[in-house]
Chain A
Amino acid sequence: MLPNNEVRGPTMRVVPESVVPRDITDDFTIAASKLRTGQLVKDECFTLFEAVGALEIMDSKMDSGYLGPGENHAQALEDDFDLMRELAPEEVLGIMDELLCHEMAWHMGHPLSQTLFTSLYLDRLLWPVPKTLENAHFGRGQSQSNKKVPDIVHVVLRAYCLALVKCCDFVHARVTTEYYFEEEDFVTQLYNRTLLSQFDSKHFHDLLDHAIRWVDEHTDTLGEKVAEAIRARLLFRREFLWGLEQDVEVIETRSTAQFLSCLSHLDFLGKSAVLGKEVPESFSCKIQRKLASTVPPRPMVKISFEDALAHLRRLCQDAVDLLEIIDYRGPYNLKVVIWTLLSRKPQPSVYIRSLVQSLIVSNRTILGAVPVKQFLYDELEQIVLPSSILLQASADEIEVPSDPRFQIAQHMDVFTKRFSQPFVDTFRSACLNRCRIRRTVCHTLVDWDNLQMEAEDLDEQLRTLSNEPPLQLANGDTTYSYPLSSWAYHHKLSQFRLILQLGFELSIYAPEELPGMYWYLSHICSTHLGHIDRIRTFTVATAKRNLAELAAKQRDAIERHTILQRSIQLLERMTTQIVAVDAFAISLHALYVLLARHRVLPTTSSPQAYSSNRLRYEIRMKPFLQITLPELVPYDEYHREAVLEGDSDDIVLERAAKAISEARKAWEATLANGAFMRDSDERDSPALAIEEDWKRDIKDTMRACIGASIAIETVKKALKAQADSRKREELQAPQSVNLRVTIPEVGSKARWHDWWVVPQVSPATTSKS
């Protein structure tokens, strides 16, 4: 992932003075007429594919500049709406709210040309690009220069409009400096206009303050209620501008005051919206004819005021809760807060996600406080290298090249150079939209596979330098810890799991694939558990060696002891969580095997379909094909495991029931452990709001567990009933099992958790005949 700051948008056309046009109409026409039908004369590099993207001039659907037969030139380009006319206070209110709707629609990912840039008021302020802020007024470029713009329009509406544009400017600036997907998350196109970025925001505050004073002075003439409503909108805009202006500075200010204050206005904004009177004539799609735009004309986007407020409310709330990620408490906790915040439903808006990206890392510093190298070292210390010389060596500042510590420091520098960016990216990738997270992780998986191999080389060199004592295994073999590659492998396995779980969330798998995919998830989990066990073995061995030193009351031994215990604690915590995932996956796997065996699992592909289990498996394993470790499971083996070949229904049922009760216990233990690794003296949660989200997520998973146990019970009963009836009427052909199965969609109420597809199983009522 790289910063996304490529320059977009058209450049000015520069025409040298001396250019003269020569009429070639006749030559051209004659030459073209000599061509055969279908024959093209074209630029060698120009492809048909590109040609398809060309806008057809004079086609009303493609050509934004096209004027219909009835439209005369003047009407078509200039709206008759008089921007200098007097507006009733209710109309000003209506326009403000309409603008807010458009602003939020833009935040949601619609282009400016279909939202804010349809406003005639904004158009007059922004085009031609004003040289001074005083220049941006509604009377500009008009012949009736002596006509005065009414105060309510000039003082109030203008201030609101300008401040709104400045708000957009801050949002635009933040999003464009970070990694986002154009047209998918957001449209940054400005159509050759500016969002007043050249003017300092102080001026906008002055304008708003002036407008607020004006409203206060004219409450009587405006009417008390409407005046109050207009005032609230101006106040809100002032706070919102402050909040967006603060942006990444929040690291220093640690202030949520602005967005909290925004939130406090929203209820009243919602309630007072009815007082407004719409002025639909002040918005027009015709402005698209004047915008530098390479796309066909498109209709205005209309969202309701309630939807706009809902979006705004979430944005402000997310901006407030964002503060909880800023206090650095180690990489593990940071990962939890970031993931939890960004997994909120609906997903935080692109502005928030961009802001989080900037907060996570800028100028090679995490959260504006921790150097990337330290961040990486903290992670290594927590997971694979508690109290290791490898991490301390560089701090010792040895300058004798023959000293092993000097050489260790050099090797570790190589490691840091290679690994810090990919490691930080595992945090940043959470800021993408959900589909892109999965896609990105699928790509980075390959990098991590390579990184693991590089780390292994480093491990071997470092081992001799640090004189690592080998560890004797139970079978008599000796082995070394390979800390760096172990750590890389740990991350890779986490990414495997994430790819699968996001697959469930994004509804990638067909119902008939669910047995296999849950088996695969449990397979990855058990591999991961084995790997963590290996890491733990070494950490425990180090802790044992340290015990001797502890007894001998060595200076650093106590400190080392604490660090080692913390690391063991973290490994323990991760184990609990992966066991929980593993057990749940095993249980769902078994349940789905039964449903598939008895042909009650819905399928999306028809029997004649080209797709087959083998082909589907091939496609699902595509991200993993290039990965050397863990090895790819061959299809035949996968198939045997996925259908639980050779196990009777009873055994499978037993397996499902046992696993689900184990899963419930493990999830309870996970919940009890809490979201964060805490220092023993820490009492209050460091991130209350986000911890609540985290708890809700675990509780939803536990609900899904309960749903699964009920489904298992239902299947058990139905299978028993089927067996009984078969005993009674032995001669009859085997009856199909009496069950109806539906797979709840993501977002529906019955889908307790996105990552856990628990089927709804109920006795079928109709098949008794």
Chain B
Amino acid sequence: MDENTAVQYLDSLIGRTLRVHATDTRIFVGTFKCTDAARNIILANTHEYRYPSPSAVRDAATNANELAAESAGTAQNNIKVSMTSRFIGLVVVPGQHITKIELEETPQLGRMRETLRS
């Protein structure tokens, strides 16, 4: 990839919604605004997502067990605990703290991209 195609590629992502994973496991979801050679990423209208704390998982598990006990059914193996999220606005995630970058797209868009590539 030469510089031109690199810029073209990154430019195509501007304005799209990215999910940027940070070294501390938090995920930042926002509109991609800017990046540079050090892979620093600026996101606008960002929401911060955090994995539920162990105690929240424990509580959910207890509740699920109680529910299961009440309904006298079999205990569930899987419980669902949602990630906690909050709005934090405009942020810059420094390149060295990024572990993963994901692009949000609709399935149709994904298929279209695949056809274009082939």
Given contacts A23-B102, A290-B84, whether A54 and B92 have CB atoms under 8 Å apart is yes
B54 touches A73 (CB 8 A): yes
Chain B: how many interface residues by the 8 Å CB criterion? Answer: 61
A20-B107, A22-B102 known; A143+B92 contact, CB < 8 A? no
Knowing A28-B39, A42-B14, say if A55 contacts B88 (CB, 8 Å): yes
- Rounded to whole angstroms, the CA-CA distance of A57 and B89 in the bound complex is 12
Using CB atoms, name the residue of chain A closest to B34.
A42
Which of B6, B29, B105 has a CB less than 8 Å from the CB of A35? B6
A65 an interface residue at 8 Å Cβ cutoff? yes
Query: Contact flags (1/0) for B73-96 with A, using CB distance below 8 Å?
Result: 000000000001111111111110
Cβ of B68 < 8 Å from any Cβ of A?
no
- Whether the Cβ atoms of A40 and B34 lie closer than 8 Å is yes
Q: How far is the CB of B49 from chain A (nearest CB, A)?
A: 10
* B53 x A54 contact (CB < 8 A): no
Minimal beta-carbon separation of A769 from chain B (angstroms): 64
Q: Is A293 an interface residue (CB 8 A)?
A: yes
B85 touches A13 (CB 8 A): yes
Given the interface pairs A35-B37, A67-B24, A143-B63, the reply to whether A57 lies near B110 with Cβ below 8 Å is no
Q: How many residues of A contact B (CB 8 A)?
A: 58
Fill in one digit per residue for B31-66: 1 if any A CB lies within 8 Å of its CB, else 0.
001111111001010011010011100110011000
Asked if A24 CB lies within 8 Å of chain B CBs, one says: yes
What chain A residues lie within 8 Å of B84 (beta carbons)?
A: 290
Q: How far is the CA of A40 from the CA of B38 in the complex (A)?
A: 10
Stretch in contact with the other chain, from A45-53, A340-348, A610-618? A45-53
Given known contacts A23-B101, A294-B89, is B110 in contact with A41 (CB within 8 Å)? no
Question: Knowing A73-B54, A74-B53 touch, does A58 contact B24 (C-beta < 8 A)?
Answer: yes
Q: Which among B37, B39, B44, B86 is the interface contact of A37 at CB below 8 angstroms? A: B37
A39 and B37 form a contact (CB under 8 A) = yes
Is the beta-carbon distance between B55 and A54 smaller than 8 angstroms?
no
Closest to B10 in A: A41
Contact flags (1/0) for A68-81 with B, using CB distance below 8 Å?
Answer: 00000110011000
Say yes or no: A294-B90 contact (C-beta < 8 A), given A24-B102, A41-B7: yes
Contact B37 A53 (CB under 8 A): no
| Cβ 8 A contact of A41, one of B11, B29, B55, B107 | B11
| B47: chain A residues within 8 A (beta carbon) | 13
Cα–Cα distance between A293 and B105 once the two chains are bound (Å): 27
| Chain A minimum-CB-distance residue to B96 | A58
B98 to chain A, nearest CB (A): 8
Q: How far is the CA of A184 from the CA of B43 in the complex (A)?
A: 28
In the bound assembly, the distance between CA atoms of A291 and B95 in angstroms comes to 25
In the complex, how many angstroms separate the beta carbon of B11 from the nearest chain A beta carbon? 6
Counting CB contacts under 8 A, is A765 at the interface? no
Query: A276-293: which have CB < 8 Å to B?
Result: 290-293
A478 close to chain B: CB less than 8 A: no
Q: Which chain B residues lie closer than 8 Å to A73 at the CB level?
A: 53-54
Residues of the A chain whose Cβ atoms lie less than 8 Å from the Cβ of B71? none
Chain A 708-725 interface 0/1 with B at a Cβ cutoff of 8 Å (1 = within): 000000000000000000
Q: Given the known inter-chain contacts A23-B102, A25-B101, please indicate yes or no for A55 contacting B34, CB distance below 8 A.
A: no
Specify which chain A residues have a CB less than 8 angstroms from the CB of B9 in the assembled complex: 27, 31
Q: List 23 A-B contacts (CB under 8 A).
A: A11-B87, A13-B87, A20-B104, A20-B110, A21-B102, A23-B100, A24-B13, A28-B13, A31-B6, A31-B9, A32-B95, A54-B91, A55-B91, A57-B28, A57-B97, A58-B22, A63-B91, A65-B26, A143-B62, A192-B87, A292-B88, A293-B87, A294-B87
Chain A positions within 8 Å of B, measured between CB atoms, are 10-11, 13, 15-16, 18-25, 27-43, 46, 50-51, 53-59, 63-67, 73-74, 77-78, 141-143, 192, 290-294
- Which 9 A-B residue pairings sit nearest by Cβ, starting from the closest? A294-B89, A10-B87, A34-B6, A42-B34, A21-B102, A292-B87, A31-B6, A35-B37, A41-B10
A22-B110, A27-B9, A33-B39 known; 19 new pairs, CB 8 Å cut-off, are A10-B89, A21-B105, A23-B101, A24-B103, A35-B7, A40-B36, A41-B7, A41-B14, A42-B35, A54-B42, A54-B91, A58-B22, A58-B24, A63-B91, A67-B24, A77-B53, A78-B55, A141-B59, A293-B88
